Amino acid sequence: MSGHTHPCCKIGPSILCADLSCLADECRKMIHSGADYLHLDVMDGHFVPNLTFGHPIVKCLRPKMPDIYFDMHMMVQNPEKWVESMADAGANQYTFHVEACEDIPALCRKIQESGMRVGVGLKPGTPVETILPYSDLFDVVLIMTVEPGFGGQSFMEDMMSKVQYLRTNFPYLDIEVDGGVGPNTIDVVAEAGANMIVSGTAITGASDPSQVIALLRNSVENAIQKSQLER
């Protein structure tokens, strides 16, 4: 998995929850509010029953924000199909779902060779053990705390056992959590060991997004600091 440096806190607003009619402006607003990266949800209507956007949108956004880290959450069947297109569009991280992939090592190699970081996502019903045989191939593991593809679900706190297992066994791994994360749930996420925090409406719908981002960051950084003191 990722290199031997302690994972640092990164906050990534989910831009699907923003006003898509002025997406570039919304993305800039998130970055100016203190976001470390942008989380872009790609849904194909097959792997999940919803349809969002694809690589043309990413390609249009990239020139407007050349230095921003784009984390592509690929909720798609046949994720190997879109690797070159997303790399060409300027994506930095390609997070595929293990449930949609038949040949994990081949896909990880393809993503790495295209110059992107490798992320793997797990739906709530997928045991963390599924990915352990391939643990040296990933840079990021994304633990879903809602069922992907549906809005307005409650945060699944029982998914934190997956995060805890990964953090205990892979202390240098980037662990991302997505689904229902906001001021009311961040402490349990941070204490479990997640360091990459995806948050949607809690940030994009806030009257002051910078305040929410700062709150999320504070919780995660405190948890990281505490865990390093305990080692």
Q: How many domains does the chain have?
A: 1
The pTM for the full model equals 0.96
Asked whether residue 117 is assigned to any structural domain, the reply reads: yes
Is 152 annotated as ligand-binding? yes
**73 carries a ligand binding annotation:** yes
- Look up residue 4 and give its two tokens: 């031997």
4 located within any domain:
no
Say if 5 falls within a structural domain: no
Token pair belonging to 186 = 């961040």
Q: Is 76 exposed, middle or buried (0-12, 13-18, 19+ CB in 10 A)?
A: buried
Its domain, for residue 120, covers 10-230
Give tens-digit pLDDT for 60-105: 999 999 999 999 999 999 999 999 999 999 999 999 999 999 999 9
Out of 44, 71, 174, 178, which one is annotated catalytic? Answer: 178
Q: Residues 6 or more apart from 91 whose CB is under 8 A from it? A: 40, 55, 58, 70, 72, 116
* Residues of the chain falling short of pLDDT 70: 1-4, 151-152
Is 149 labelled a binding residue? yes
Concerning whether 41 is annotated as a catalytic residue, the answer is yes
pLDDT at 62: 98
For position 4, what pLDDT does the model report? Answer: 63
* Catalytic one of 36, 41, 44, 71: 41
The CATH number of whichever domain residue 168 belongs to comes to 3.20.20.70
Is 67 marked as a binding-site residue? no
- 187 catalytic per annotation: no
Is residue 133 included in any domain, yes or no?
yes
59 in a domain, yes or no?
A: yes
